[in-house]
């Protein structure tokens, strides 16, 4: 009888050990994905050809400071009420100018070399250019400029850096296409 009781106690102790390990692992994962990394899905075509609808991205948000050329995920409230994935074109104090006839984008008077865009920037919205980016904000656009709702529209406007949840560093899915161009 005592033998059966000690076997049951050993089984219960083993199960409790496994549960404790699982709980500790979940807490560690939660902490890492809350404070260091996040995962976000791409919805829509605004970042083509760089990112495709349905791609999944690993975001880094450890002491992140946005800089020109970064691909970021933004949670600033918009009419779409969903996160936006865009490329940082200019940071606070920089002047953005877009010639919608030639499709050229200039930052501080220099034409950007944008090998990543689908086509030149011909589509305009209601933001007037040249445009100076507000303090604490960035100016972002999608890589598919003529099919992207972005900072060129005053309903989005400059992005408050506090709404940037991270920089896209790695494509998680589709598997095998990790590098982001």
Q: Cβ contacts of residue 77 below 8 Å, gap of 6+?
A: none
DSSP string over 54-116 = T-EEEEE-SS----TT-EEEE----TT-S-EEEEEEEETT-EEEEETTTTEEEETTEEP--TT
Q: Options 3.30.830.10, 2.10.109.10, 2.60.40.1930, 2.40.170.20; which CATH number does 41-173 get?
A: 2.10.109.10
pLDDT tens column, 96-120: 999 999 999 999 999 999 999 989 9
Question: Which residues have a catalytic role annotated?
Answer: 46, 86
The whole-angstrom separation of Cα 118 and Cα 68 is 18
Q: With H, G, I as helix, E, B as strand and everything else as coil, classify residue 45.
A: coil
Q: What is the pLDDT of residues 65-105, one digit of tens each?
A: 899 999 999 988 777 778 899 999 999 999 999 999 999 99
């Amino acid at each position: 009888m005592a033998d059966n009781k000690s076997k049951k106690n050993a089984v219960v102790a083993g199960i409790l050990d496994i549960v404790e390990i699982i709980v500790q692992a979940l807490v560690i994962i939660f902490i890492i994905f809350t404070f260091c990394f996040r995962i976000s899905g791409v919805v829509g075509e605004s970042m083509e050809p760089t990112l495709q609808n349905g791609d999944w991205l690993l975001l880094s948000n450890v002491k992140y400071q946005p800089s020109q050329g970064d691909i970021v995920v933004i949670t600033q409230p918009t009419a779409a009420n969903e996160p936006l994935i865009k490329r940082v074109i200019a940071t606070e104090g920089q002047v953005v100018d877009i010639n919608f006839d030639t499709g050229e984008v200039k930052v501080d008077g220099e034409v950007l070399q944008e090998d990543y865009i689908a086509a030149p920037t011909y589509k305009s919205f209601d933001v007037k250019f040249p445009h100076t980016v507000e303090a604490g904000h960035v100016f972002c656009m999608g890589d598919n400029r003529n099919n992207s709702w972005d900072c060129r529209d005053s309903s989005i406007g400059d992005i408050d850096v506090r709404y940037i949840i991270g920089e896209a560093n790695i494509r998680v899915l589709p598997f095998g296409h990790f590098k982001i161009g």
